[in-house]
Structure 1
Amino acid sequence: MTRETAREALKALFEAAVGAASPALCLPPHLPPPPRGRTVVVGAGKAAAAMAATVEAHWPGPLEGLVITRYGHGAACERIIVVEAGHPVADAAGVAGTAAIVERLRGLTADDLVLCLLSGGGSALLAAPAPGLTLADKQAITRALLRSGAPIDQINCVRKHLSAVKGGRLALLAAPARVVTLAISDAPGDVVATIASGPTTPDPTTRQDALAILRRWRITPPDSVRAWLDDPRAETPKHIPGAEAVLIARPRDALEAAAREASARGLTPIVLGDAIEGEARVVAAAHARLALKIADGRGVGAPPCVLLSGGETTVTVAGGGRGGRNAEYLLALAAALDGRPGIHALAADTDGIDGSEDNAGALLSPDSLARAATLGLNAAERLADNDGYGFFAALDDLVITGPTRTNVNDFRAILIDAPSSEDTP
């Protein structure tokens, strides 16, 4: 299989994965019946605008509302207002948008319906600091957590307890209206309470958990944050009467779609899991060992095959380079594979944004290290500097899709070709 043929196949698998989580495809079957009263649509996440547009296209009656999405992830809506705001760190636009959502929930009755549209990214986009806290307080904590390497569920636990709307509080503000949440999962384990930090679902975590997370990652909070977390008012609701939530797309759905595409192309799919977490470079090393075993005829499958996985890895930032967790994963994978013939890979975020860069991810070929060497690039040095973006940009190997307006987290595919094949450009 040539390098270009392998890349074409890997890109097709990624496109199949993203397509399976398209709001236009997965949302309409889950719409509830219209209420006797008003229908108010609210929501947040990278898919929020596309979800809102889909609701508009399929809703049979009057409709109003507001959703918040990341800058550049908007979509045209006629009746639902779309606000774009900062991610992964909240900004003033997110605060203003959240205040507007809260205002729309005032004065609702039991005859009304609140349709809440949630997807990954909503934790940053729904920004309403708890009493006594400022946006700057929350920004400082978020930045420290993102750099620490803490897993996303722990980051969101802290976010919930520093918010006036997350962790189930938004649903309480809508009472006595019926609240139905439609969610696209980017959360390992598909726990609704962790998607967008669960603004409409009961929260099983506690303020003591939040304090323990800050201690674990050696983050010293501002006095205002510590004082709030010591206050019983910081506790999130553990029971919300009548809360309803439906997962309309999951990482598993994306991997299953990619597996079908792989089979259609004559590749045996081997799904490693849809909820893989851990340090990106550690996960990459483990996947490289598995790929090498298969290539040597000692693994769980036989070439030609493809290893598929999802989830959300983390990066402990120690260098000054550019790049998200998928570029970091691929750079570590390149170092571990050391140019082994017949093994190609793609790693990308299904939302189209790897970290905070303009790429979804990148592609890796057996000749990547050799091509990098001709440019004076050393993979180990770039990895130490957390500069996966710079490495793959220099090779013209970035995967750039633009915003996909969905989000079922990371997608990784390692294609292992038949041993007799040669990697030709």
Structure 2
Amino acid sequence: MEPRKLLQQMFEAAVLSARPEYCLARHLPAPPKGRLVVVGAGKASAAMAHAFEDAWSGEISAGLVVTRYGYEVPCRYIEVVSAAHPVPDQAGCAAAARMLELVRGLSPEDLVICLISGGGSALLPLPLPGVTLAHKQELCRELLRCGAGISEINCVRRHLSAIKGGRLAAACHPARVLTLAISDVPGDDPADIASGPTVGDPTTCADALAIVDRYRIRLPDSLRACLESGRGESVPPDDPRLGGARFRLVATPQAALEAAAQVAQANGIAAHILSDRIEGESREVGKALGALALQVARRGQPFAAPCVLLSGGETTVTVRGGGRGGPNVEFLLALALALQGEKGIYAVAGDTDGVDGQEETAGGFVSPDLLARAWQLGINPRQSLDDNDGHGFFATLGERLVTGPTLTNVNDFRAILVTG
């Protein structure tokens, strides 16, 4: 099979494995004696709500999920609201406030199903009293630009939120809570998926403040006061209000990589999953994996060609140039520079939600002739990387991976094909 087509099929298999209609139904509980309330947030939450309705045998008393603009899926009983991502807006605040009201006043015989997926942090931005949405929006932009990891970003978010960090589950008490989650974070930590609205938070305001100071982010006085005073402390794991809360993963980055590996193996290509939780600066990861691919191609170590090197996780971009960033395209551009047109090595990288950074592009493709074609067009690949302009580079070369809304999100996907 032609290399690009094979890479495309592996990416599509990874995404398909995490689509709610294929992974949600087997995790549903028995109907409760009392009411059933469905809430949720994330880029996949509307698709999850639709799949839940199709599979659920009981009644649904009430429901509300919030998803990213353009990711709406029609539901019969569960209301779907749209809001902004990755920088939050007032629609997300209003939806989060309504969600808290929806789950209050329940009984021990009631059950709340919480459908959570990546993107939920931005889509549930309800700030604590004294914290404004405008301040949270600016902080979000700074956190996205500074190169902080997702666990660091979400730690800060939890301690300035009225709904994250276990607060949604606490509001459901004494009802039981079952969270069905699609993981988009390295390590699948429940506290980091959508900033953990239904799970206890082991971090503190002091931890959040240390992260802000580490990246030299200047906080408005109201936000700093919230953290320094401890007013933003979230719900700890041993809080008795979380005694009836349970958490279940329905799709993960590892499962997506395994689905891609099956496609490669079906085409006679050995597949090696390097890790489902690679983090760090995108350009450094690209350089490192480029060196590994060259070792395979030239020395047959640590794997023999033909083979594909698969990895997931969430890399970051510290934007210093005039480009738009984008971790997958930055990874690919650094990879291409490391490979320097090595024959027989191809790659794809993309965010499984279809959005790389803040662009409506999932990622892109690398082939041996990529750099030569760029130079022919008068584009300096190194300058494009220094300017954080991966999106402009791959758009001009016609090597973008464009999917539109995939209705799921299991983080970044990377495949490097070494044909030998």
Give the alignment's TM-score, normalised by structure 1. 0.96
Q: Which amino acid in 2 is paired with 1:52? A: A
For 1:207, which of 190, 193, 205 is the aligned residue? 205
Check if 1:108 corresponds to 2:106.
Answer: yes
Q: Distance in 1 between matches of 2:64 and 2:248?
A: 20
2:220 matched residue in structure 1: 222
Q: Distance in 1 between matches of 2:186 and 2:258?
A: 16
Q: Distance in 1 between matches of 2:125 and 2:316?
A: 23
Q: Which amino acid in 2 is paired with 1:45? A: G
For 2:38, which of 29, 36, 41 is the aligned residue? 41
Q: Which amino acid in 1 is paired with 2:369? A: D
Q: Deviations over 1:315-343 (max 9, x none)?
A: 00001113410000001111111111100
Check if 1:92 corresponds to 2:94.
Answer: no
Runs of 4+ in 1 over 2 A off after TM superposition: none
Q: Which amino acid in 1 is paired with 2:149? A: P
For 2:293, which of 288, 291, 294 is the aligned residue? 291
Q: Report the Cα offset of residue 299 of structure 1.
A: 1.4
Q: Report the Cα offset of residue 12 of structure 1.
A: 0.5
Query: Map of 1:292-331 to 2, 5 A cutoff?
Result: 292-331=294-333
Check if 1:23 corresponds to 2:25.
Answer: no
1:275 matched residue in structure 2: 277
For 1:153, which of 145, 151, 154 is the aligned residue? 151
Q: Distance in 1 between matches of 2:229 and 2:23?
A: 41
Q: Distance in 2 between matches of 1:306 and 1:232?
A: 48
1:185 matched residue in structure 2: 183
Q: Which amino acid in 2 is paired with 1:57? A: D
Q: Report the Cα offset of residue 61 of structure 1.
A: 1.8
Q: Deviations over 1:188-231 (max 9, x none)?
A: 11111110000000001111000000010001110000111122
Query: Map of 1:15-414 to 2, 5 A cutoff?
Result: 15-63=12-60, 64-238=62-236, 239=238, 240-414=242-416
Q: Distance in 2 between matches of 1:378 and 1:269?
A: 33
1:423 matched residue in structure 2: none
Q: Report the Cα offset of residue 38 of structure 1.
A: 1.1
Q: Report the Cα offset of residue 108 of structure 1.
A: 1.1
Q: Distance in 2 between matches of 1:300 and 1:129?
A: 49
Alpha carbons 1:43, 1:68 under 8 Å: kept = yes
SS at match of 1:372: helix
Q: Which amino acid in 1 is paired with 2:140? A: T
Single out whichever of 39-48 and 228-237 deviates more from structure 2.
228-237
Alpha carbons 1:323, 1:390 under 8 Å: kept = no
Q: Distance in 2 between matches of 1:337 and 1:232?
A: 49
Q: Which amino acid in 1 is paired with 2:104? A: R
Q: Report the Cα offset of residue 298 of structure 1.
A: 4.2
Q: Distance in 1 between matches of 2:301 and 2:148?
A: 32
Single out whichever of 152-161 and 81-90 deviates more from structure 2.
81-90
SS at match of 1:274: strand
Q: Distance in 1 between matches of 2:35 and 2:56?
A: 12
Q: Distance in 2 between matches of 1:250 and 1:26?
A: 10
SS at match of 1:344: strand
For 2:6, which of 4, 9, 12 is the aligned residue? 9
SS at match of 2:309: strand
Q: Distance in 1 between matches of 2:91 and 2:145?
A: 23
Q: Deviations over 1:368-413 (max 9, x none)?
A: 1111111111110000111101101011110111010111000000
Q: Deviations over 1:156-203 (max 9, x none)?
A: 000000001100011111111111100001111111111000000000
Q: Report the Cα offset of residue 232 of structure 1.
A: 2.8
Q: Which amino acid in 1 is paired with 2:64? A: L
Q: Which amino acid in 2 is paired with 1:146? A: L
Q: Deviations over 1:234-286 (max 9, x none)?
A: 11111221220001111000001111111011111111100000000000000
Q: Which amino acid in 2 is paired with 1:232? A: G
Aligned residue pairs, count: 415
**Residues 173, 241 of structure 1: CA spacing in aligned structure 2 closer, same or farther, 3 A cutoff?**
same
1:422 matched residue in structure 2: none
Q: Distance in 1 between matches of 2:325 and 2:212?
A: 25
Single out whichever of 230-239 and 151-160 deviates more from structure 2.
230-239
Alpha carbons 1:352, 1:359 under 8 Å: kept = yes
